[in-house]
Amino acid sequence: MKYHRIKDYYKSIFESFEKPLLEEHIKKIIEFDKFLPYSSTFFCVTNTQDLTFEYISKNFNACLGLDPLEMKASGMRYFWTRIHPDDIKGWLSALDHLMEFTLQNIPEEDRERANYTWNFRFQNKAGDYVNIVQNTTPLAFDSEGKPIIGLAHYTVLDPSIKMEITASAKLLNAQNEYETIYYSNFNQKLLHDGISNRERDVIRLLLLDYSSKLISEKLNISPHTVDTHRRNILKKLNVSSTGELVGMLKMNQHFL
């Protein structure tokens, strides 16, 4: 897909009105970056209205070998040119569906508690396409309620890991726990279609070694309901125990 087509489609997804000021907030994020250790994760403050990066953390170069100054100067155009050509259609479709879901299903007053995740392959300095899992939290919205400035965390994974392009949206509940409200796979299904959003939340908390009682408190459901979800999950995924389930999913956590 040519750059101008990506730009047109991307801008149609994030078409925005008014530019909020977040200078102090962004300043604190930049200060915080100085104290973070080097790791396989970097973060950016993204501006979808101007197609720019307000900030790129120091780990960008450590993770990918690329020059953060070049990406900041060229903006999202530079970023797009390094996404695997075979992933662009699925990635744009994921963004489009997430935006549509947000505007139709999340009240404006709740959108600041939302969190979005998707993935794609990205070319590093050596020319290898590594897996990127992007997790974005909106920081500001336009007058129409569209998120236009966000804090995006990028986790870099080995290229040998086979990952389907997926997208999910989560919302903080009253217990300060994220609950899945949207999930879709934009390639072939990695796991069974029948896994519900609630079951994904139960699986995610099982991976953290939470008991049924604690999961019930986090998700505001009864322990009996949690146990029912656990039995259904095992049946749907054709595994015999929670231990087997955890072992299988530790290699595929991006689907959550």
Question: CB-based burial of residue 55 (10 Å sphere; 0-12 exposed, 13-18 middle, 19+ buried)?
Answer: middle
Least confident of 62-66, 189-193, 220-224: 189-193
Distance CA 251, CA 256 (A): 11
pLDDT of residue 207: 82
3-class secondary structure, 55 = strand
Mean pLDDT of 246-251: 63
Number of H helices, E strands in the chain: 10, 7
Q: Is the pLDDT of residue 125 over 50?
A: yes
pLDDT number for residue 18: 64
Work out the end-to-end distance of the chain between its first and last CA atoms, rounded to an integer number of angstroms: 29
pLDDT, position 15? 75
Q: Which of 82, 77, 88 is nearest to 165 (CA)?
A: 88
* Model confidence pLDDT, tens digit, residues 181-210: 998 887 644 454 578 889 888 988 888 888
The mean per-residue pLDDT over the stretch 95-119 comes to 92
Mind listing the domains of the chain with CATH numbers? 3-190 (3.30.450.20), 192-256 (1.10.10.10)
What is the reported pTM?
A: 0.74
Across the chain, what does the average pLDDT equal?
Answer: 85
φ, ψ for residue 223, nearest 5 deg: -55, -35
